[in-house]
Amino acid sequence: MITDASACRCFAVSERTSASFSWAWASIRSVILPSSQVASRVTALGFTVLAHDPITPAVVSDGVSLVSFDSLLAESDIVSVHARATAENRHFFGAKEFARMKPGARFINTARESLVDEAELADALRRGHLAGAALDVVERPSDGARHPLLQLPTVFITPHIGGATEETLLRGARQAADAIADALAGRRPAAVVNPEVFDRETGGRTEGRP
């Protein structure tokens, strides 16, 4: 199911690619967002945050207002989905949900491709009911053809690397280099998944990097 929903004044999809795909609006009011961490980031930027969770959370972040799913769709200028995929929520966003979104709204999916009926999303975009979509995940065409959503000028697609900023890529490279150096020196890498196996194979030399 959908975990959260939120509203904002402005929203940047990708700082490094915004030059080739414009997501600029005069007065954005609302958006769906995923979690308390995301909510805290956008509220810090001055966004107004609405949220929907089918299971009422025990703790709601400061600045976040819980609303019904219907209200969230009707009031949001940007809807960004972040949820686990289950058999029950396949194509949770379909024709009815897109129709309930306000005209000119934008849709973002960085969760799982199965949550969205992409044919209905494409229809809503072609008709102009939705102004644009940003997708970090999409279903793979069975015939291996080019994804039809790529033909639409109002769609922005990334290969599940929406969080791959320059900083995260650099940090990942450094962590990988540190792990290799630790392993070669007989030290346990900081992020090893099964430390007991490493300790057994290396005779218990577990000291890591300072």
What is the identity of the amino acid at 132? G
HEC string for 28-64: CCCEECCCHHHHHHHHHCCCCEEECCCCCCCCCCCCE
Indicate which residue of 112, 118, 187, 188 is catalytic.
112
200 carries an active-site annotation: no
Other CB atoms within a 10 A radius of the CB of residue 135 amount to 23
- CA gap 47, 191 in Å, rounded: 35
112 carries an active-site annotation: yes
Nearest in space to 80 (alpha carbons), one of 183, 185, 3: 3
DSSP three-state, residue 190: coil
139 carries an active-site annotation: yes
Indicate which residue of 75, 129, 139, 147 is catalytic.
139
Rounded to a whole number, what is the largest CA-CA distance in the chain?
65
- Residues marked active site are found at 112, 139, 160
